[in-house]
Amino acid sequence: MKAILLAGGKGTRLRPLTIHTPKPIVPIFDRAFLHYQIDLLRQLPEIDEVILSLNYQPRRIEEIFGDGAGTGIRIRYVVEPAPLGTGGAIRFAAAGITDTIVVFNGDVMTSVDVKRVVAMHRERGAKATIVLTPVDNPSAYGLVETEPDGSVRRFLEKPGADEITCDTINAGIYVLEPSTFDRIPKDVAYSIERGYFPALVERKEPFFAYIDRGYWIDIGTPEKYIQVHRDMFDGKFGGGIFATADRHAPIVTADARVEDGARLTAPCFIDSAAQIKAGASIGPYAVIGRNVVVEEDAAVTASIIWPNSRIGQHAIVDGAILARNCHISRNVTLRGQAVLGDKTLLTEHSKI
Specify whether the CB–CB gap between 262 and 278 falls below 8 A: yes
pLDDT-derived band at 159, boundaries 50, 70, 90: low
Give the range among 119-133, 181-195, 219-233 with minimum mean pLDDT: 181-195
Q: What's the pLDDT tens digit per position in 290-338? A: 999 999 999 999 999 999 999 999 999 999 999 999 999 999 999 988 9
Domain residue extents for the chain: 2-222, 246-346
CATH superfamily of 2-222: Spore Coat Polysaccharide Biosynthesis Protein SpsA; Chain A (3.90.550.10)
pTM of the model: 0.90
Minimal CA–CA distance to 17: which of 317, 312, 304? 304
Mean pLDDT for 3-21 is: 87
Contacts of 70 (CB under 8 A, 6+ apart): none
Confidence at residue 142, expressed as pLDDT on a 0 to 100 scale = 76
pLDDT-derived band at 160, boundaries 50, 70, 90: low
Q: How far apart are CA 332 and CA 350, in angstroms?
A: 5
Pick the CATH number of 246-346 from 2.160.10.10, 3.20.20.70, 3.30.390.50, 3.40.50.720: 2.160.10.10
Mean pLDDT for 167-186 is: 90
Confidence at residue 140, expressed as pLDDT on a 0 to 100 scale = 67
Q: How far apart are CA 321 and CA 300, in angstroms?
A: 11
The torsion angles phi and psi of 231, rounded to 5 degrees, stand at -60, -40
Alpha helices in the chain, H assignment, sequence order: 34-41, 58-65, 85-93, 114-123, 197-202, 222-233
Q: What's the pLDDT tens digit per position in 187-224? A: 888 988 888 998 898 888 999 999 999 999 989 899 99
Q: Which one of 31-35, 151-155, 164-168, 270-274 scores highest in mean pLDDT?
A: 270-274
Per-residue pLDDT at 28 exceeds 90:
yes
Specify whether the CB–CB gap between 53 and 5 falls below 8 A: yes
Contacts of 204 (CB under 8 A, 6+ apart): none
Specify whether the CB–CB gap between 322 and 222 falls below 8 A: no
